[in-house]
Chain A
Amino acid sequence: MSAPPNPTGAAGRRLAALAEGWRVYRADRGGLFGLAVLSLVVVLALLAPVLTPPAELDVTRAGGAPLRPPSAENWLGTDESGRSVLLLTWWGARMSLLVGLSAAVLSMLIGTVVGLVAAHFGGWVSTLLLRLTDFFLVLPALVLAIALSTVLSRGVLTIVLAIGVTSWPQTARLVRAQTLTVETRPYIERARALGGGHRHLLGKHVLPAVLPLVFATTTLTVASAIIAESTLSFLGLGDPAMISWGSMLKSAMDTGAVTAGAWWYLLPPGLGIAVVVLSFTLCGRVLETVLNPRLRGERR
């Protein structure tokens, strides 16, 4: 007798909305390309321990001669210790993706919380948080990241922290602007008149409206986080025991691969960074157009 919330109906509509989003996404070739490349890279990175022998990464057990150009045996040549560059690049993808994703998630969390709180509460809270955001915004991110990774112990966590802490201000600004817009809508006033507290307003109305935007930005942040990770590793601030694309480039520099003309040692990690960053950017752009219909006409 009583009217049930009819979950199938609502869920069905949401599914339909999702399908519509996918239809728009699919129409963009660049986005599809990015998605395909990313899926391939992620699957390969995840399967690396299964498909390749980790022992080959051990310098003491490396089979080949040092700094050999590509051959039938080592498709992408060898590094200064005789390890296969193909294998190194393959394993380096794991580290780059891991650091890129976790740093982006960290920056998204900080940025969203700061942006929401600053916009919702206003007053001195907002002033304080915005000045803090401005401070981080004008600070040269690389210098801060270097300072952080020298103070903290070296390692993956430090790099993630250093990148996350320096890349959140853009997200915070964006979330604040969006929150301010959403909060002027009459349904916020209505929820307030119904007796809803801050948690209800933020959780039920503001956050769901802001989240799509946050996801789109995060995809773009991943790209810059991967670059930041490579930069920091290249500067020698990463964990020396872990292989990443940045640390590969660093050892190539250190061991004179550049002067020796060992292009096969430099190109794979460099191209890896370029391709993954490009794919994330492509996906992020298309995701933005899917979530913000106003951009659709212009980008086609």
Chain B
Amino acid sequence: MTPILRLDGVSVTYRGEDGPHRAVVDANLTLRPGATLGLAGESGCGKTSLALAVLRLLPRSARVDGTILLDGHDIERLTWGELRAARWTSASVVFQGAMHALNPVRTVAEQIAEPIRLHSPERPAAARVRARVTELLEQVELPGARRDAYPHELSGGQRQRVMIAMALACDPRLIIADEPTTALDVVVQAQVLALLRRLVSERGIALLMISHDLSVLAASCRCLGVMYRGRLVEEGPARQLVATPEHEHTRALAAAFPTIGDEGSRYPGAGEPGESAGGVRGSLLAAEGVSVEFGDRYRNRVRAVRDVDLEVMGDEILALVGQSGSGKTTLARTLLGLCPPNAGTVYYEGRPLATSGRELRAFRGSVQLVLQDPTGALNPKHTVYEAVAEGLRVHGCADDEAVRVREALEAAELRPAEEFTARFPHELSGGQRQRVVIAGALVLRPRVLVADEPVASLDATVRGEILALLLRLRRERGLSALVITHDLGLAWNIADRVAVMRSGEIVETGPVERVLTEPRHDYTKELLAAVPSFEGSVS
């Protein structure tokens, strides 16, 4: 049987302003019909370049060396017309970010029909196209009634299904899925992965799936490959690669996706009270019966947070978990005093939150925010020093500014601090940027840190370092943290207590060990079941 895809010594080189940049170096791969291969790696490791090279979709500045055989044909030798025919009929792509890959002004049925029309030799009958689209929609488990919907009327998971239906339209023998579930939350991710698994096994399609998340790949692919700095460093059956990783980078990737319930995945110090506790053990920041409503553009009232009670104690890390849209971020903003509650009260150290400017400002000195995307959270025009000193300047403590900035940078493990002060955010790596954001919060000597998805946009290896930093800050400074996340593994890694949120309500609260191993609420069970795990991987 000829392999559907064979890569022989493939390198991708980009011409850049500062000389050529080798994105992929000497990659060798073989994919037989019906095989599933997962390519894992951090951002910038060249995995997307490799996938796009298969269909010659790379920009002009890229040069591809080596041979790529798609269905036995060297794709470099194909004429433009042959290449067009090969795209979608031999291999199709499920792009990252379904919202941007779909045309917002056409219905999904029209978009699914587009490749069918393009690849028919003569104009196909409208009724036949219609029937085929209905069939495709059925295959991806979308109700036929949604065929005339526009992309913005669909949820993220439904849009991703439309993308998959499009990829299937011309019966390709290979599907390349580039981060197909990255923007989705766990429950929807589990559904999309199950769908892909089913289609692959039913129709004998080969699947090349790309992700930064090893557990997602392990759950849907038989073979795994790990890329690091443009090279394929390790390749093998999923089970074996995850259980006994050989390359240290594979080990780092595997460690970033902890097995919930496994004591070894808990970071040292998690769940134990700190020794140098800053004092109080009682409630630091609390919400009582808090509700928040928004008016949407149709003047409907949307209740983002409903009657929530939540307490952050001194010297503890509390994880607030839930799907996207469950109101976690709104609740956090309310706790920070950035968004006034419609009902209920927020207490800090037992006193209701002030509404006047001066007292609110003093409060904000003690409760600090760390945002999800460190790139956006730093003003690109400010140096690291200015970014960290900003809080001090706002609060008018200018006397020992330089000393405190230095202390904060060192506390955030940016050492030596002098090396970083004059740099601009774009000169730092993602992990360093997040450390600067944390330093900017620490400089005010806060009591509570509210971290909204602090590691969601970071690479696997950096993720561990930032989480360890949060734990160390708690241990050494007694700094409490409210960590908002969709990632139950993160909660298992570092948190003492967990609060599970659904549609604006807290459905379950308790110690991490209890909630994540013996969940009581159905929703918690559902979330836990949706976490991709290595046990669930196809064998």
Question: Given contacts A185-B376, A189-B371, are A194 and B440 in contact (CB under 8 A)?
Answer: yes
Q: A297 at interface (Cβ–Cβ under 8 A)?
A: no
CA–CA, A169 and B383, complex, Å: 34
Give the distance to chain A from B334, nearest Cβ to Cβ, in Å: 12
Question: Given contacts A187-B376, A193-B369, are A2 and B402 in contact (CB under 8 A)?
Answer: yes
Q: B483 at interface (Cβ–Cβ under 8 A)?
A: no
Chain B neighbourhood of A189, CB < 8 A: 338, 369, 371, 377
- B391–A197 touching, CB < 8 Å: no
Can you list 8 A-B contacts with CB-CB less than 8 angstroms, sorted by A residue number?
A3-B418, A4-B421, A5-B386, A5-B402, A190-B378, A194-B444, A196-B394, A209-B379
Chain A neighbourhood of B338, CB < 8 A: 189, 192-193
Identify which of residues 160-208 in chain A touch chain B, using a CB-to-CB cut-off of 8 Å.
Answer: 185-187, 189-197, 200, 204-205, 208
- A6–B369 touching, CB < 8 Å: no
Stretch at the interface among B70-78, B216-224, B317-325, B357-365: B357-365
**In-complex Cβ contact of B369 among A3, A13, A190 (8 A):** A190
Q: B523 at interface (Cβ–Cβ under 8 A)?
A: no
* Per-position 1/0 for B344-370, Cβ under 8 A of A: 000000000000010011001100110
Taking CB as reference atom, which chain A residue is nearest B378?
A187
Q: B516 at interface (Cβ–Cβ under 8 A)?
A: no
Chain B neighbourhood of A187, CB < 8 A: 376-379
CA–CA, A4 and B400, complex, Å: 11
- B376–A194 touching, CB < 8 Å: no
Chain A neighbourhood of B368, CB < 8 A: 193-194
CA–CA, A189 and B390, complex, Å: 13
CA–CA, A189 and B421, complex, Å: 22
Interface residues of B (CB under 8 A from A): 336, 338, 357, 360-361, 364-365, 368-369, 371-373, 376-379, 381, 383, 385-386, 389-391, 393-395, 400, 402-403, 405-406, 409, 417-418, 421-422, 424, 437, 440-441, 444
Give the distance to chain A from B389, nearest Cβ to Cβ, in Å: 8
- B390–A196 touching, CB < 8 Å: yes
CA–CA, A6 and B424, complex, Å: 12
- B395–A195 touching, CB < 8 Å: yes
- A209–B381 touching, CB < 8 Å: yes
**In-complex Cβ contact of A200 among B385, B394, B402, B406 (8 A):** B394
Question: Given contacts A3-B417, A190-B437, A193-B364, are A10 and B391 in contact (CB under 8 A)?
Answer: no
Chain B neighbourhood of A53, CB < 8 A: none
Given contacts A10-B383, A200-B394, 20 further A-B contacts (CB under 8 A): A3-B402, A3-B403, A3-B409, A3-B421, A5-B389, A5-B402, A5-B422, A10-B385, A13-B424, A185-B376, A186-B372, A186-B373, A187-B378, A189-B338, A189-B371, A190-B369, A193-B369, A194-B395, A194-B444, A195-B364
CA–CA, A228 and B365, complex, Å: 52
Q: A140 at interface (Cβ–Cβ under 8 A)?
A: no
Interface residues of A (CB under 8 A from B): 2-6, 9-10, 13, 185-187, 189-197, 200, 204-205, 208-209
- B391–A194 touching, CB < 8 Å: yes
Chain A neighbourhood of B406, CB < 8 A: 2-3
Question: Given contacts A2-B402, A194-B394, A195-B391, are A208 and B364 in contact (CB under 8 A)?
Answer: no
Chain B neighbourhood of A5, CB < 8 A: 383, 385-386, 389, 402, 421-422
Give the distance to chain B from A17, nearest Cβ to Cβ, in Å: 10
**In-complex Cβ contact of B390 among A3, A185, A186, A204 (8 A):** A204
Taking CB as reference atom, which chain B residue is nearest A5?
B385
Chain A neighbourhood of B372, CB < 8 A: 186
- A205–B444 touching, CB < 8 Å: no
Chain B neighbourhood of A195, CB < 8 A: 360-361, 364-365, 391, 394-395
Give the distance to chain A from B481, nearest Cβ to Cβ, in Å: 14
Taking CB as reference atom, which chain A residue is nearest B450?
A193
Of A2, A6, A10, A190, most buried by chain B (CB within 10 Å of CB) is: A190
In the complex, the 6 A-B pairs of residues with the closest C-beta atoms, listed nearest first:
A9-B422, A193-B369, A195-B364, A186-B376, A6-B422, A2-B402
CA–CA, A10 and B383, complex, Å: 7
- A208–B402 touching, CB < 8 Å: no
CA–CA, A209 and B402, complex, Å: 26
Taking CB as reference atom, which chain B residue is nearest A191?
B390
**In-complex Cβ contact of B385 among A3, A197, A205, A208 (8 A):** A3
**In-complex Cβ contact of A205 among B336, B379, B393, B441 (8 A):** B379
Taking CB as reference atom, which chain B residue is nearest A189?
B371
Give the distance to chain B from A94, nearest Cβ to Cβ, in Å: 37
CA–CA, A51 and B386, complex, Å: 50
Chain B neighbourhood of A6, CB < 8 A: 385, 418, 421-422
- B405–A3 touching, CB < 8 Å: yes
Chain B neighbourhood of A194, CB < 8 A: 364, 368, 390-391, 394-395, 440-441, 444
Give the distance to chain A from B59, nearest Cβ to Cβ, in Å: 13
CA–CA, A113 and B379, complex, Å: 22
Chain B neighbourhood of A13, CB < 8 A: 422, 424
Taking CB as reference atom, which chain B residue is nearest A193?
B369
Give the distance to chain A from B370, nearest Cβ to Cβ, in Å: 9
- A2–B403 touching, CB < 8 Å: yes
Chain B neighbourhood of A4, CB < 8 A: 402, 421
Chain A neighbourhood of B377, CB < 8 A: 186-187, 189-190
Taking CB as reference atom, which chain A residue is nearest B425?
A187
- A10–B422 touching, CB < 8 Å: yes
Chain A neighbourhood of B369, CB < 8 A: 189-190, 193
Give the distance to chain A from B17, nearest Cβ to Cβ, in Å: 12
CA–CA, A190 and B433, complex, Å: 14
Chain A neighbourhood of B403, CB < 8 A: 2-3
Chain B neighbourhood of A192, CB < 8 A: 338
Chain B neighbourhood of A9, CB < 8 A: 383, 422
CA–CA, A292 and B357, complex, Å: 37
CA–CA, A189 and B440, complex, Å: 13
CA–CA, A9 and B390, complex, Å: 19
